[in-house]
Copies of this chain bind each other. A is one copy, B any other.
Amino acid sequence: MTEPIAMIAVDWGTTNRRAWALGRDGKVLAERQDGEGLLQVKPQGFARSFADFAALWLTRGERLPVLMCGMVGSKLGWTEAPYIAAPADLSGLARHLHPVPFAGDARIVIVPGVSAIDRGVPDVMRGEECQVLAVMAQRRLRDATLLLPGTHSKWVQVADGKLVSFRTYMTGELYNALTSSGTLAQLMEKGEADGEAFLRGLRQVRDEGSGALTHLLFGVRTLGLFDLMPRASLSTYLSGLLIGAEMTDAVAWSGAKQMIAVGSPKLLENYRRAADFFGLAFEAHDNSALLPPALHMIARDSGLVA
């Protein structure tokens, strides 16, 4: 006899979405993902898109609890779930769930994102707050500096169980932009990641300072032009510069000597090498394993499931 589905957890982002059918104790019973991120769904199409996506797990007439996180709660998403402001009690996320009007066989709520303000300039996260909650709970910690690398990398300070402050770095987006067009991309060739080139990028940042980044970027071009680095290694060197600059600034900002990193194993590997290079302790967690228990915990704390 199969265990009944107690709730559905969803991470609905800009380019992808993933969902997990969870049992009563949070056990993952089934999982699915597709490419129907916000960019693929029409403004009025979220209800239909979700109903199709989750059809196999829904039962006519039963309003199954569904907890969503990620960009689905943004202005461009299904329904805007207002940010809660840092400092924010992580255990308080469950008290700020935002209901989504849905006529189908589900009771849908969205986890709010978190905003912070620094010298009048806001910063925002959506989805990362759940990963922070999950890893802090799993590690039974109340204080930590966390790193969530990605297109927009986040560095997060948690103190006494509160998400106190955070900083976003455009590392991944800059990498994508500079490797896809412009005078650096022109010289790049496809190739294996080159560990030596990555370290050389980190060394440049250490020696010249992250403040020299827009100068150091030009070196990607000249190293290629003068044949001082294989053209297939230039993108790895660029990655070393960008990750080096991010880590240097984030460590200066946070004062952290150790960090808990949450992300895809492939991305984390580069950050681990950078942390080693800068003499920082690094603990890695695969993000895909963290979200289902986090969303289950929030659902339970909020009373969405028993």
Stretch at the interface among A100-108, A115-123, A298-306: A115-123
Asked if A218 is an interface residue, CB under 8 A from chain B, the answer is yes
State whether A209 touches B249 (Cβ < 8 A): yes
State whether B222 touches A170 (Cβ < 8 A): no
State whether A222 touches B121 (Cβ < 8 A): yes
Asked if A193 is an interface residue, CB under 8 A from chain B, the answer is no
Stretch at the interface among A24-32, A138-146, A173-181: A173-181
Asked if A12 is an interface residue, CB under 8 A from chain B, the answer is no
Partner of A122, one of B121, B168, B222: B222
State whether B169 touches A121 (Cβ < 8 A): no
For window 228-251 of chain A, which residues contact chain B by CB distance below 8 Å? 228, 242, 245-246, 248-250
State whether B218 touches A152 (Cβ < 8 A): yes
Asked if A281 is an interface residue, CB under 8 A from chain B, the answer is no
State whether B169 touches A218 (Cβ < 8 A): yes
Asked if A255 is an interface residue, CB under 8 A from chain B, the answer is no
For window 203-229 of chain A, which residues contact chain B by CB distance below 8 Å? 204, 207-219, 222-223, 225-226, 228
State whether A213 touches B212 (Cβ < 8 A): no
Partner of A123, one of B183, B218, B242, B253: B218
Asked if A56 is an interface residue, CB under 8 A from chain B, the answer is no
Asked if A75 is an interface residue, CB under 8 A from chain B, the answer is yes
Nearest first, the 4 closest Cβ-Cβ pairs linking A and B are A210-B211, A121-B219, A211-B211, A122-B222
- A-B residue pairs in contact (CB < 8 Å), sample of 8: A75-B225, A119-B204, A122-B223, A122-B226, A177-B181, A177-B182, A209-B249, A210-B212
Query: Could you tell me which A residues sit within 8 Å of B by CB distance?
Result: 75, 119-124, 152, 167-171, 173-174, 177-178, 181-183, 204, 207-219, 222-223, 225-226, 228, 242, 245-246, 248-250, 252-253
